């Protein structure tokens, strides 16, 4: 996500603080995980976050989402590799930690509060808002303020800590791992699109269509 011009440093500062506030609100909403229909709660919040990001940062230039052939191929390839890697890593992990199966099954039960169609629709809304916030606005604002490396690292950390609001270390670890990959795609290509594609392949597959347990 890019601006047509770089705003003053004071503007970048208050925009950055607003993004931090959005992280806090997202973590508070994630605390609803396991207490009812999480999709509608997080989904509506995700829509509001996306609207705030667009209102504050402006409508993203088409270049931020435009996909060249290699960007599209990269996003698909990374999404598929992440998905396959998740199943392989889980099998290896539960061989070492058998109780992991119980914990992950509990997470799936807590998330299974909607029909597949509704869950998929909200999942796509939520992951789009996540990309706009953490791989889009967060990196743009803090890159201009503190540099690209700091922006990328803090993006991953902020995303992970926010997901920790769910009360699950497993969710936070997944967010850290996946967030690092999607952030790397944003930094490498300069676009949100490739990471969004990878995200849209991994999350519905692993969470909705073909759970690991």
pLDDT category at 68 given cuts 50, 70, 90 is confident
How many other CB atoms are there within 10 angstroms of residue 209's CB atom?
11
What does the alpha-carbon distance between residue 59 and residue 78 come to, in Å, rounded to a whole number? 27
| Candidate from 12-21, 44-53, 61-70, 190-199 with smallest mean pLDDT | 61-70
Instruction: Say if residue 126's pLDDT is above 80.
Output: yes
- 55: tokens are 């209102």
From residue 22, how far is each of 28, 50, 109, 172 by CA, in Å? 10, 10, 27, 17
pLDDT category at 12 given cuts 50, 70, 90 is confident
pLDDT of residue 66: 63
Instruction: Indicate the helix (H) or strand (E) that contains 169.
Output: helix 169-189
- Residue 34 or residue 110, greater confidence: 110
Q: Is the dihedral of CA 140, 144, 148, 149 positive or negative?
A: negative
Nearest Cα to 154, choosing from 138, 169, 136? 138
| Candidate from 46-60, 79-93, 139-153 with smallest mean pLDDT | 46-60
Q: Please identify which residue in the block is written with the tokens 């998929």.
A: 120
Average pLDDT of the chain? 89
Q: 112 and 213 in contact (C-beta within 8 Å)?
A: no
User: What average pLDDT score do residues 63-90 get?
Assistant: 88
Nearest Cα to 23, choosing from 147, 163, 127? 163
């Amino acid at each position: 996500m890019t601006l047509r011009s770089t705003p003053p440093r004071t503007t970048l500062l208050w925009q950055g603080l607003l993004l931090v506030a959005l992280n806090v609100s997202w973590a508070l909403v994630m605390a609803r995980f396991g207490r009812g229909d999480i999709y509608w709660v997080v989904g509506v919040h995700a829509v509001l976050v996306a609207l705030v990001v667009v209102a504050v940062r402006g409508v993203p230039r088409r270049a931020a989402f435009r996909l060249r052939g290699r960007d599209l191929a990269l996003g698909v390839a990374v999404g598929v590799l992440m998905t396959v890697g998740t199943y392989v890593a889980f099998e290896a992990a539960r061989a070492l930690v058998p109780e992991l199966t119980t914990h992950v099954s509990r997470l799936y039960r807590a998330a299974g509060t909607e029909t597949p169609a509704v869950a998929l629709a909200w999942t796509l809304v939520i992951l789009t808002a996540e990309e706009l916030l953490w791989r889009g606005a967060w990196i743009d604002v803090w890159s201009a303020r503190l540099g690209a490396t700091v922006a990328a690292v803090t993006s991953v950390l902020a995303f992970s800590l926010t997901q920790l609001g769910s009360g699950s270390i497993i969710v936070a670890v997944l967010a850290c791992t996946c967030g690092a990959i999607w952030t790397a795609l944003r930094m490498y290509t300069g676009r949100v699109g490739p990471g969004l594609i990878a995200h849209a392949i991994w999350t519905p597959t692993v969470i909705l269509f073909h759970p690991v347990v």
